[in-house]
Amino acid sequence: MCDYSLEAYRTRPAREGERYVTTRFGSGSMGLASPGDASIPVCVPCDTALRLEGIPAELRDRHGLRAVEDATFVHLEQGAWRDGVRFRNGATVSLQMLPTGLDVTVTGLLEKAARRFEGAAAI
């Protein structure tokens, strides 16, 4: 899923095993992009398994996290932005609350969601 504020951009679907970084795009919205190519947001389907590395101390302290955490990409029901991550301890954080430059690796992409998403991205 790509937040509605990234709809104006050319995007591409996430791929299992790839590493991305959190990026603030020109629209002001936070999303994921390939390292070195912040011009193309990477769209991630809901329920995709992620590994976040380099979580800053402030975020760790506030949500009971470690520097490296596994999480699930989720759709948030409230707030202006709807993309978020849910950590194993149950803490849910909007992508907007993550710092830029955080390493995010797709560790598990649901095959059914990936096929549906890539088909939609091809339109």
Given a cut of 60, is residue 119 above it in pLDDT?
A: no
Q: What's the structural domain count of the chain?
A: 1
Please check the confidence at residue 121 and state whether its pLDDT lies above 60. no
- Number of CB atoms found within 10 A of residue 35's CB: 12
Is a pLDDT exceeding 60 seen at residue 72?
yes
At residue 116, the pLDDT reads: 47
Structural domain span for residue 96: 4-121
Other CB atoms within 10 Å distance of the CB of residue 89: 11
Kindly report, residue by residue over 29-65, the tens digit of the pLDDT: 899 999 988 889 998 999 999 999 999 999 999 999 9
* Beta-strand runs (E) in 1-123: 12-13, 19-24, 30-34, 37-43, 49-53, 68-75, 83-87, 92-94, 103-108
